[in-house]
């Protein structure tokens, strides 16, 4: 028989560059939670500041501290899900790693879940008058407020803070939601609630969102687009069975066409048609690649040397896409001479965007072995040349 009391709570803390906050979090949990009733799992995405090493150092002398270290992906939601899956306790708490979440409300939240009064207890920044003090700017507050209205309306909820990153839930609630979880972005609470059937019984409690002490917010700039992708995944992909990433990719490509035209017009005068078209194509490709790398594939973003290698592969694959485009369009045009020429042209363009998406999904941003080998081989080639 073990001599220690049973574990009641696993605290999941996603981290990216939170080295200076780790020890303080553990200290605060220790001061707040009953001894021996908890563990804390930090889920770190290879933070350059050495957060993982910091967690390991603590974990060597404190068995309540655990680390999940990921090297090939990024993202708050997926980090939380992996932490929950690794939890030993039946009840899990999800909390930011920057001390903005006030741990003193945890015991009460856990108690409500433990006694079955709720399946999920969310800590809300908007239930007390000064609760949202820690929101970094007025702009951020405005974005949050409209995001909340939108989230409630779209998903049929009535919560004061459906986007909070601070909540306690039974582990099995998350496990049952797994098949439908989007895992993209950082709307993990919303993701869990809307992926569970029946929906969990949710209770909200107020807490005061503190200002950040060390490090900086990683979400500020991406909030809106992130929400948009999540919306696509949850609402659109259910009816049109295409991934949200494809819709995002296609939209950015559509903007890329405008970029192409905007570049072509001024160039055509000096360079002549063919050269201007070539340069405009390259500019549009660079635009598509960079923006998709930034937003569509933010969780697998290629950086440093890999960024350039990725662009070479991207450009080659998209050039094949142009060949497919012309092929399909002319085939249709010749096969069905009665068709308005616009239709074969549109079909060609559609084939191209599908090809570009699938091919780059696998070979540029893919994590399969073949894609990784291709990238390594190419960077060696470039490195030697």
**Chain residues that interact with ligand GDD, rule: CB under 6 A:** 14-16, 18, 43-45, 74-76, 79, 96-98, 100, 144, 163, 165, 186, 217-220
Least distance (Å) between residue 212 CB and ligand GDD: 7
- Report the nearest approach of ligand GDD to the CB of residue 65 (Å): 16
- Which is nearer to Mn ion, 165 or 344 (by Cβ)? 165
Least Å distance between CB 51 and Mn ion? 14
Compute the distance between CA of residue 54 and CA of residue 199 in angstroms, rounded to an integer: 38
| CA–CA gap between residue 31 and residue 54 (Å, rounded) | 20
Among 15, 100, 194, 281, binds Mn ion (CB under 5 A): 100
Q: Closest approach of Cβ 69 to ligand GDD, in Å?
A: 10
Q: How far apart are CA 124 and CA 70, in angstroms?
A: 29
Judged by CB, which is closer to ligand GDD: 75, or 310?
A: 75
Q: Does 47 bind Mn ion (CB under 5 A)?
A: no
Distance CA 74, CA 242 (A): 22
How many C-beta atoms surround the C-beta of residue 97 within 10 A? 25
- Looking at 73-81, 90-98, 257-265, 309-317, which segment touches Mn ion (CB under 5 A)? 90-98
Q: Does 98 bind Mn ion (CB under 5 A)?
A: yes
What CA–CA distance (Å, rounded) separates 40 from 252? 40
Residue closest to 9 by CA, chosen among 84, 59, 75: 84
Q: Closest distance between ligand GDD and the C-beta of residue 231, in Å?
A: 15
Residue nearest to ligand GDD (CB): 165
Residue 13 or 329 with smaller CB distance to ligand GDD: 13
186 binds, among Mn ion, ligand GDD, none (CB under 5 to 8 A by kind): ligand GDD
CB nearer ligand GDD, residue 167 or residue 314: 167
Residues 6+ apart with CB under 8 A from 109: 93, 121, 123, 167, 168, 205
Residues forming beta bridges with residue 40, ordered by sequence position: 11, 65
**Residue 44 within binding range of Mn ion, rule CB under 5 A:** no
Q: Which of 195, 203, 151 is nearest to 174 (CA)?
A: 195
Closest CB 101 distance from Mn ion, rounded Å: 8
Please enumerate in sequence order all residues whose Cβ is within 8 A of that of 157, keeping only pairs 6 or more positions apart, or say none.
Answer: 151, 193
If contact means CB under 5 to 8 A according to the sort of partner, which of ligand GDD, Mn ion, none does residue 207 touch? none
**169 contacts which partner out of ligand GDD, Mn ion, none, CB within 5 to 8 A by kind?**
none
Q: Which stretch binds Mn ion (CB under 5 A): 58-66, 99-107, 238-246, 334-342?
A: 99-107
Residue number with CB closer to Mn ion (96 or 204): 96
Which CB atom, from 102 or from 119, has the smaller least distance to ligand GDD?
A: 102
Q: Least separation, in Å, of the C-beta of 312 and ligand GDD? A: 26
Interaction site with Mn ion (CB under 5 A): 96, 98, 100
């Amino acid at each position: 028989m073990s001599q220690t009391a049973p574990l009641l709570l696993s605290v999941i803390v996603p981290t990216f560059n939170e080295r200076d906050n780790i020890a303080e979090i553990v200290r605060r949990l220790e001061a707040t939670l009953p001894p021996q009733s908890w563990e804390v799992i930090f889920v770190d995405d290879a933070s350059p500041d050495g957060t993982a090493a910091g967690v390991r150092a603590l974990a060597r002398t404190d068995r309540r501290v655990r680390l999940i270290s990921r090297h090939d992906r990024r993202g708050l939601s997926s980090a939380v899900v992996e932490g929950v899956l690794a939890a030993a306790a039946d009840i899990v708490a999800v909390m930011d790693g920057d001390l903005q979440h006030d741990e003193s409300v945890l015991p009460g939240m856990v108690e409500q879940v433990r006694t079955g009064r709720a399946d999920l207890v969310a800590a809300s920044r908007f239930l007390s008058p000064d609760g949202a003090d820690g929101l970094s700017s007025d702009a951020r507050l405005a974005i949050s407020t409209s995001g909340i209205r939108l989230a409630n309306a779209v998903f049929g909820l009535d919560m004061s803070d459906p986007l909070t990153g601070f909540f306690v839930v039974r582990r099995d609630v998350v496990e049952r939601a797994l098949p439908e979880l989007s895992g993209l972005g950082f709307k993990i609470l919303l993701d869990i609630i809307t992926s569970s059937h029946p929906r969990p019984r949710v209770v909200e409690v107020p807490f005061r969102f503190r200002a950040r002490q060390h490090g900086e917010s990683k979400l500020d700039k991406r909030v809106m687009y992130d929400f948009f992708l999540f919306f696509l995944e949850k609402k659109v992909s259910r009816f049109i069975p295409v991934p949200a990433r494809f819709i995002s990719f296609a939209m950015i490509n559509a903007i890329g066409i405008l970029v192409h035209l905007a570049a072509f017009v001024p160039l055509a005068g000096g360079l002549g048609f063919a050269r201007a078209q070539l340069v405009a194509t390259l500019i549009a490709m660079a635009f598509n690649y960079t923006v998709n790398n930034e937003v569509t594939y933010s969780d697998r973003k290629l950086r440093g040397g890999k960024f350039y290698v990725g662009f070479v592969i991207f450009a080659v694959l998209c050039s094949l896409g142009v060949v497919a485009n012309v092929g399909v369009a002319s085939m249709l045009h010749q096969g069905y001479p009665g068709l308005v020429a616009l239709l074969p042209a549109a079909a060609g363009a559609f084939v191209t965007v599908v090809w570009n998406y699938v091919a780059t999904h696998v070979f540029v941003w893919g994590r399969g072995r073949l894609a990784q080998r291709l990238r390594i081989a190419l960077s060696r080639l470039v490195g030697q040349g």
